[in-house]
Amino acid sequence: MNDREADKLAFVPKEPWQECPEVWKTQAAYFNWIRGQMRRAWSRHPVKNKFIRLMRFKAPLGKSGPKNPDGQMIWCAKCACCDETFKQTKLQVDHIDAAGSFKGWNDFSEWMMGLMHINVAGLQFLCKMCHDTKSYADKHGMTFERAALEKEVIAFTKWSIAKQDRLLAEFTVTHCTNAKQRRAAYTALLLEKYNENGKE
């Protein structure tokens, strides 16, 4: 065996992020790039475009003026969750059944099938708020209603302490002395509201 043959046998192919660390600093960065490329392809999916053409309609939600006092007629659609009508640009096309996660090659086939192997009946329009809530629910394995509650709680925790205390005081909750207690108290108030509405 000559030196060239020995070198070939000794060669072990590197992973892309190892071969080009100046491009992808980590394995996660590489798979983030792959996800981004596949989502660009999804954005131009013919079935997605067909769904949009089938589901959109014109409504007077554009700018109003002398000729259009009620608003200019523009392309709109309804959110499948809240049933509100939005401008098409304010809506997102969502997979009714989530494509799942893609963190490595073992996930790739199932994720790609979920993302790309679709039909019109498997898609829906969602407004940004409902889409964010559904994504949160899918990620954490909870109902849409519970995810909406959790996101309300998260928004509450970002308020100032004074604002949190003022809201809690409106419901005669005054015993909270730290962030954990305020969060728990607000969660309890929301759960009570959801129970009254029959959503939990």
* DSSP state string for 51-81: HHHHH-EEES-S---SS-TT---EEEEE-TT
The Cα angle at residue 8 between residues 6 and 11, in degrees rounded to 5: 110
pLDDT in tens, 52-89: 999 999 999 888 877 777 788 999 999 999 999 999 99
Residue 199, judged by CB atoms within 10 A of its CB (0-12, 13-18, 19+), counts as middle
Residue 186 lies in a domain: yes
Within-domain flag for 7: no
In a domain, 116, yes or no: no
Give the HSE-up count for residue 16: Cα atoms under 13 Å, Cβ half-sphere: 12
**How many whole angstroms separate alpha carbon 158 and alpha carbon 164?**
9
Q: Is the pTM of this model over 0.95?
A: no
Q: Which domain holds residue 157?
A: 142-200
Question: Per-residue pLDDT tens for 104-163?
Answer: 889 899 999 999 999 999 999 999 999 999 999 988 889 999 999 999 999 999 999 999
Work out the pLDDT band at 173, boundaries 50, 70, 90: confident
Give a yes or no: residue 133 inside a domain. no
Position 200 scores a pLDDT of: 46
Counting the structural domains of the chain, the total is 1
